[in-house]
């Protein structure tokens, strides 16, 4: 079976299961067929599995210049998406409680265009993990990190094909705003002279948790006060938010609360480990901060 025949059969199966697609995105890059998005996700997972093995006996790469350009580039893209989504929902007078996908004319078209960039950005963000592998920061490649990065492109491929505007706007808007804060932090933290002035990392995770809770509540509003937006998508969104809230909450507890309690205990005990940390010019708090996991 050639690839064209495979794509045709897969598209036929997906369409019979999901129903008719939104014709406003026909012909858009990567959206007509699912296999490219699926193949990129599989390639990502293979690199996550094989990359650390390849790097095991090799020196880590610094990537400092690339990290600055990459993170600040995603900061600008996230800021663009956030501003355009806010502008689109304001222009279309989008309803917070429920917004259908065919009710705001040109504003819907604006939202669809921005959400395609949002979908595409999830493929770009695979580079987050690749930089971890190249720098041998394998402790940061957690289940949460891989689960979130691997699932988003496929989720948003389906969103773009069936519900590319309307009530889909809210979670993407909040996530774009959080990513402005997150990628700006990581871009600036790649410059050693700026690290002492960067104070908002802990609040990024808090913001992410607030984002997931708000998205779940806003999605639930469309279940209680329906407006024609497909209920199946709403139930899926709520379920996915529950998984992220559980995983990010666990990350927050393990990274900040338990480690914070450990640091306080060490400080009270005047432990030898703390004394050694200071004698080497690095306090345990600073060393722990450098080793904190990144979650996006």
CB 134 within 8 A of CB 58: no
Cα dist from 104 to 147, 163, 164, 188, 221, whole Å? 34, 14, 13, 39, 19
The helix-helix angle for 143-162 and 106-124 (nearest 10°) equals 150
Residue 179 — φ and ψ, nearest 5°? -70, -25
Q: How many residues does the chain have?
A: 296
What distance in Å separates the CA atoms of residue 146 and residue 125, rounded to the nearest whole number? 11
Residue 60 DSSP class: P
Tell me, yes or no, if 8 is annotated catalytic.
no
CA–centroid distance for 217 within its chain: 19
What distance in Å separates the CA atoms of residue 181 and residue 184, rounded to the nearest whole number? 5
Q: Which helix (H) or strand (E) holds 153?
A: helix 143-162
36-75 burial, b at 16+ Cβ within 10 Å, e below that, comes to: bbeebbeebeeebeebeeebeeeeeeeeeeebbebbbebb
Out of 8, 102, 139, 148, the active site residue is 148
Cite the active site residues: 148
């Amino acid at each position: 079976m050639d690839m064209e025949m495979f794509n045709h059969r897969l598209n036929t199966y997906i369409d019979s299961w999901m129903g008719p697609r939104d014709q406003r995105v026909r012909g858009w890059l990567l959206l007509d067929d699912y296999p490219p998005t699926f193949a990129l996700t599989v390639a990502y997972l293979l690199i996550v599995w094989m990359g650390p093995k390849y790097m095991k006996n090799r020196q880590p790469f610094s990537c400092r210049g690339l990290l600055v350009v990459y993170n600040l580039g995603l900061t600008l893209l996230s800021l663009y998406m956030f501003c355009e989504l806010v502008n689109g929902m304001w222009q279309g007078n989008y309803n917070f409680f429920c917004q259908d996908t065919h009710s705001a004319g040109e504003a819907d078209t604006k939202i669809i265009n921005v959400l395609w960039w949002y979908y595409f950005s999830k493929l770009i963000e695979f580079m987050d993990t690749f930089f971890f592998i190249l720098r041998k920061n394998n402790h940061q490649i957690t289940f949460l990190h891989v689960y979130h990065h691997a699932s988003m492109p496929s989720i948003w491929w389906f969103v773009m094909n069936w519900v590319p505007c309307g009530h889909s706007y809210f979670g993407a808007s909040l996530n774009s705003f959080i990513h402005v804060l997150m990628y700006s932090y990581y871009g600036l933290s790649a410059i050693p002279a700026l690290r002492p002035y960067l104070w908002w990392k802990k609040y990024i995770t808090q913001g992410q948790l607030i984002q997931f809770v708000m998205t779940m509540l806003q999605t639930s509003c469309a279940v209680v006060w329906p407006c024609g937006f497909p209920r199946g998508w709403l139930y899926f969104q709520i379920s996915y938010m529950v998984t992220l809230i559980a995983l990010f909450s666990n990350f927050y507890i393990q990274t900040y609360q338990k480690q914070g309690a450990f640091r306080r205990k060490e400080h009270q005990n005047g432990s030898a480990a703390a004394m050694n940390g200071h004698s080497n010019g690095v306090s345990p708090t600073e060393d722990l901060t450098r080793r904190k996991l990144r979650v996006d």
